[in-house]
């Protein structure tokens, strides 16, 4: 019997497995994909704080960035710049493989092409029924289960944890560019209503173009690629699309008897940008610490594992709530209101003030949100916003 079975071999699942295996516990990772380096629908922009905190391998980094240009609906732009790199653009597939290799080196086992069909929580163990290569059915036994298999995890819902109260769809494509060196972000109802689109340089002459949208993301991306092509920013509008879901609010509960859920599967995601790697890795460490202590005490009850939820909410809860409120406010803005806010930011030098502030971070958006909302002229615009319908 394994000590812990981890469902999902993304960064979060592999981090949990690595921590457990590194302390002598027997961990197995169950992954439905055939290869760990399969393409991922994720832009891979990770803050330097995350790179340093988790010693991300430099070999998976395409480039480091210290600037971005943000375009308003009318085409006005604001350039955000700092002398030191604020983030790294990583190869997400390579990151998955790198973290999995680290876990393997510490003794974690990986079962690929393994689809979890059901789980059964018993008084003394967890039974995980898996389908291998589309045919063979195995029952795997473990003392505890970690759910880390990403968005719309039916396993978390079946375990009584609920499902995300709100979510968004993302779409992305790799494109060929003409000398693009700076990250670009595009706003506007015709580009990505209520959200944003991006063009992110990766390798020389290559970039990722994508967007978030509540409806028809593929249609909006086709329009974006056509416009980027007509502007001479990309070589061709033809590309293969990758789709993925992103939760905007955490699920109701992230633990139970012998089970913990972590990462995107729970909604531990920045709703302002859709980024989930850093927050997920932080929560993976909290999950691992909780499980290690519970295994040593031979008590994996929900009462004990609840400590995981208390700790991650203490660390991230306020930031997630503030980010979601800001997200809903932005969704309620018209293009005209966004343009007016751009004008206020530029006229008052707010962009320069923010980028020079030492206490603001790429990974923690609460400070920026509060400063923008606190500006008298901007708060006047936001005060007139009618919040759109929110899924319960």
Which candidate, 274, 301, 322, 278, places its Cα nearest to that of 164? 274
Interatomic CA distance for residues 318 and 323, integer angstroms: 8
> 317-348 burial by CB neighbour count: b if 16+ within 10 A, else e?
eebbebbbebbbbbbebebebbbbbbebbeee
From CA 43, how far away is CA 41, in angstroms rounded?
7
Tell whether pTM > 0.85: yes
Q: Where are the alpha helices (DSSP H) in 235-301?
A: 277-296
- pLDDT at 243 > cutoff 90: yes
* Alpha carbon 296 to its chain's center: 31
What span, in angstroms and rounded, lies between the C-alpha atoms of 251 and 127?
23
Q: For the chain, list the domains and their CATH numbers.
A: 2-42+92-164+252-317 (3.50.50.60), 167-247 (3.30.9.10), 325-382 (no CATH)
Provide Rg for the chain, Cα atoms: 21
- List of residues 6+ apart from 148 with CB closer than 8 A: 6, 7, 8, 10, 12, 13, 16, 261, 262, 263, 265, 280, 284
Q: Look at residue 392 in the predicted model and tell me its pLDDT.
A: 36
Residues 288, 270, 357: CA angle, nearest 5 degrees: 110
User: What is residue 179's predicted lDDT score, i.e. its pLDDT?
Assistant: 84
Eight-class DSSP state of 264: G
- Calpha distance 236→219 (Å, rounded): 16
Q: How would you classify the pairing of strands 183-186 and 67-71? A: parallel
Residue 251 or 163, more confident: 251
For residue 137, the model assigns a pLDDT of 81
Q: Encode pLDDT of 78-108 as tens digits.
A: 888 888 888 999 999 999 999 999 999 999 9
The pLDDT tens digits for 178-235 are 888 899 999 999 999 999 999 999 999 999 999 999 999 999 999 999 999 999 999 9
CA distance 312 to 268: 9
Phi, psi (rounded to 5 degrees) for 245: -100, 150
């Amino acid at each position: 019997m394994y000590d812990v079975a981890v469902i999902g071999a993304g960064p979060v699942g592999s981090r949990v497995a690595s921590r457990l295996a590194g302390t002598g516990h027997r961990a197995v990772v169950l992954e439905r994909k055939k290869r760990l380096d399969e393409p991922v629908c994720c832009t891979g922009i990770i803050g330097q704080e995350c790179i340093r905190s988790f010693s991300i391998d430099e070999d998976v980094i395409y480039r480091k960035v210290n600037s971005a240009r943000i375009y308003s609906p009318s085409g006005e732009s604001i350039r955000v710049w700092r002398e030191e790199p604020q983030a790294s653009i990583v190869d997400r597939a390579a990151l998955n493989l790198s973290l999995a290799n680290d876990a393997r080196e510490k003794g974690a086992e990986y079962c690929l092409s393994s689809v979890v069909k059901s789980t059964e929580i018993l008084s003394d163990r967890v039974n995980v029924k898996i389908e291998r290569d589309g045919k063979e059915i195995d029952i795997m036994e473990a003392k505890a289960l970690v759910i880390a298999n990403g968005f719309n995890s039916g396993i978390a819902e079946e375990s009584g944890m609920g499902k995300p109260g709100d979510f968004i769809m993302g779409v992305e494509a790799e494109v060929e560019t003409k000398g693009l060196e700076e990250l670009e972000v595009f706003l506007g109802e015709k580009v990505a209503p209520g959200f944003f689109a991006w063009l992110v340089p990766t390798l020389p002459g290559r970039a990722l173009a994508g967007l978030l949208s509540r409806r028809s993301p593929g249609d909006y991306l086709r329009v974006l690629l056509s416009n980027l092509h007509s502007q001479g920013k990309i070589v061709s509008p033809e590309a293969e699309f990758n789709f993925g879901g992103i939760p905007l609010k955490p699920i109701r509960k992230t633990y139970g008897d012998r089970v913990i859920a972590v990462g995107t599967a729970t909604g531990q995601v920045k709703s302002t940008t859709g980024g989930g790697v850093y927050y997920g890795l932080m929560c993976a460490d909290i999950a691992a610490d909780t499980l290690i202590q519970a295994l040593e005490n031979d008590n994996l009850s929900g009462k004990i594992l609840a400590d995981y939820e208390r700790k991650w909410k203490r660390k991230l809860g306020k930031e997630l709530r503030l980010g979601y409120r800001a997200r809903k406010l932005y969704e309620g803005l018209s293009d005209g209101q966004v343009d007016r806010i751009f004008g206020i930011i530029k006229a008052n030098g707010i962009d320069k003030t923010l980028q020079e502030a030492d206490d603001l971070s790429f990974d923690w958006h609460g400070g920026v949100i509060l400063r923008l909302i606190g500006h008298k002229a901007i708060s006047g615009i936001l005060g007139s916003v009618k919040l759109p319908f929110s899924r319960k």
